[in-house]
Amino acid sequence: MNNPAVAILLCGGAFALASCTYTRPPQTGFYCVDIPESKSSDAGRFVKSVADQLNFKISETQFASAKGPPNHVWEVYGRGVSMFVGSALKDGEPDRFGNRETTFNPNRLGFNVAKTGLWQRVRFDKVVAVAESTARQLGWRFTKAASGKGCAT
């Protein structure tokens, strides 16, 4: 190759292609929202309020559980990010072998925020701040989960 401009262009293209390979998208850690015992049915209201304040859309589904309450899951999404919200896991009492049956806790939500679009047009900390503010306005406890952990109880 005698033309240095072509060599630089080809080399630069190779680096750009390498940077486009799949990697885990940027995301926050987990945050937990504790809902008072008699208010678990208001979880959807919390999620809708967060989505409305951010002008995001909501996708919602529910998965049946073999025992205990169902797992309720929401995706609040827009402007290149998604906030994934779901019922936290709850460990049951150990059986005689030490195994624990796991169910879902309708009074505790866990969520994280991840980049899901090509262009992220809202900062993670803004999404988390809106969720925290909404939880506190409802009188609910808001905490950050320990690093590498979720919101299981």
Residue 70: burial class (beta carbons within 10 Å; 0-12, 13-18, 19+): middle
**Residue reference for tokens 């503010």:** 133
DSSP type of residue 144 = E
- R_g of the chain, CA atoms, integer Å: 21
Give the model confidence (pLDDT) of 90-144 as tens digits.
Answer: 877 777 887 777 789 999 999 999 999 999 999 999 999 999 999 999 999 999 9
Whether the model clears a pTM of 0.85, i.e. scores above it, the answer is no
What is the C-alpha separation between 145 and 114, in angstroms, rounded?
Answer: 16
| Nearest one of 27, 30, 29 to 108, comparing CA atoms | 30
According to the model, what pLDDT value does residue 2 have? Answer: 59
* CA distance linking residue 30 with residue 48, whole number of Å: 19
The per-residue pLDDT for range 66-75, each reduced to its tens digit, is 888 899 999 9
Residue 75: the pLDDT is 97
**pLDDT bucket at 17, cuts 50 / 70 / 90:** very low
